[in-house]
Amino acid sequence: MLHIVETYGAMLLRSLGQTILLTLLSLIFAMIVGLIFALMNVGRNRIFNFIGTLYVDAVRGVPLIVLAYFIYFGIPAGIKSMGIQNFRLTALSAGTIALAMNCGAYMAEIIRAGIESVDKGQMEASRSLGLSYGKSMRLVVLPQAIRTMIPSIINQFIITLKDTSILSVIAFPELTNTGKTIAGNTFKVLETWTIVGLMYMIVIITLSKIAKRIERRANRGR
């Protein structure tokens, strides 16, 4: 095990950095996607309600690995069939899109539940004071909803971090893919996957501790 750390330690740390980068990028875009579809779901417009529900149900109904294959292999093949031969997606781009779409569907439900946890009287009171629906949502409802959403959002971040391992199928150089390479080069399968597992565990436990601390602070601020 020590030999693997000495020889491949730098490679493992780089791949861990790539894993965290992919997770952060995906989560940022997922927050935007989730907020948009959550607002569609809590609004009164039936068309928007339908679109929001359709997106959440459709994306959650497709396995992430199938979504990754579709984006990385399917979309470029479809575009090339239309005569655009130079189009291609990098593994990072395809992985970010796949994770953002997948995480965005779950994030939409987290945000929707957070908004609905706020007393409806808050919205009615702000509207009676002359604020528009958009301003009431932005200035009154969302700030209160965020407090209840923080633990779930961090939990989703942890889930997304672990989901990056699936993207080894499209050759993205994240931690699991690097582990496969090292195991193939050294034939030390047990030692390699023990190291990879410990690296995931350290990051995830650290994030869990941060989540609990943030949750306690949010609860004290209520």
Question: Which position has the higher pLDDT, 215 or 163?
Answer: 163
* Helix boundaries (H) for 43-141: 46-60, 64-69, 75-81, 91-117, 120-128, 133-136
Nearest of 180, 147, 146, 177 to residue 164 by alpha carbon: 177
Is the pLDDT at 16 greater than 90? The verdict is yes
User: What is the C-alpha separation between 185 and 3, in angstroms, rounded?
Assistant: 13
Q: Render pLDDT for 172-187 as a digit per residue (tens, 0 to 9).
A: 888 999 999 999 988 8
Query: In this structure, how many other beta carbons lie within 10 angstroms of the beta carbon of residue 16?
Result: 18
Q: Render pLDDT for 148-162 as a digit per residue (tens, 0 to 9).
A: 888 888 888 889 999
At residue 221, the pLDDT reads 57
Q: Render pLDDT for 96-117 as a digit per residue (tens, 0 to 9).
A: 999 999 999 999 999 999 988 8
User: What is the C-alpha separation between 147 and 151, in angstroms, rounded?
Assistant: 8
User: What is the C-alpha separation between 18 and 24, in angstroms, rounded?
Assistant: 10
What does the mean pLDDT of the chain come to? 88
Instruction: List the domain boundaries for the chain.
Output: 2-220
pTM, entire model: 0.85
Which pair of tokens denotes residue 219?
Answer: 């609860």
Is the pLDDT at 196 greater than 90? The verdict is yes
The dihedral through the CA atoms of 52, 57, 58, 60 has a sign that is: positive
Is the pLDDT at 47 greater than 70? The verdict is yes
Assigned CATH class of 2-220: mainly alpha
